[in-house]
Amino acid sequence: MAHFYDRFAEVALRLITQFGQPVAIRKSEPGEYNPETGGESPGATVEQIAHGVLLDFTGQEFQNNSLIKQDDKKLKIAAQGLEWAPDLLNQVIVQGRTWTIVPPLKEVNPAGTPILYELQVRS
């Protein structure tokens, strides 16, 4: 069954790559303990490139979810090929603009095969 959903993940990536745009997902990794200084060494910022589609929320979605603010956007990202899954502590860069990810973060994941991530983003 997983092979069946792997094909869906491939199709999602192909369509989003064709009709979407590159999206950078950025996360900060904490530094490690440095015994010489007795403190923490500086952390690092890690970035991966994904493919996504940036959309406006519909009027119906605004009516049904009071957590959506006026300038929020919906970002759908293909899951296949990602080094790590996006989470609420990450930022995304789309069209040169930096967005934070706000709840809810949805993962389309039938039978344990991630196909798509749907994020609510705010700048």
Q: What is the mean pLDDT of residues 63-67?
A: 80
- Are the C-beta atoms of residues 76 and 15 closer than 8 Å to each other? no
Q: Report the sign of the C-alpha dihedral through residues 82, 84, 85, 89, in that order.
A: negative
CA distance 59 to 102: 19
**Confidence label for 2 from pLDDT (cuts 50, 70 and 90):** low
Q: Is the pLDDT of residue 65 over 80?
A: no
User: Six-digit token pair at 48?
Assistant: 């991966």
pLDDT class of 74 with cuts at 50, 70, 90: very high
Residue 12 has pLDDT above 90, yes or no: no
pLDDT for the residue 1: 54
Mean pLDDT, residues 53-74: 88
Q: What are the structural domains of the chain?
A: 2-122 (2.40.10.270)
Tokens 């959506």 sit at which residue? 68
73 pLDDT above the threshold of 90: yes
Ordered DSSP codes for 24-87: EEEEEEPPPEETTTTEEPP-EEEEEEEEEEEEEPPHHHHHH-TT--TT-EEEEEE-TT-SS---
pLDDT at 69 over 80: yes
Give the pLDDT confidence of 86-106 residue by residue, as tens digits. 999 999 999 999 999 999 899
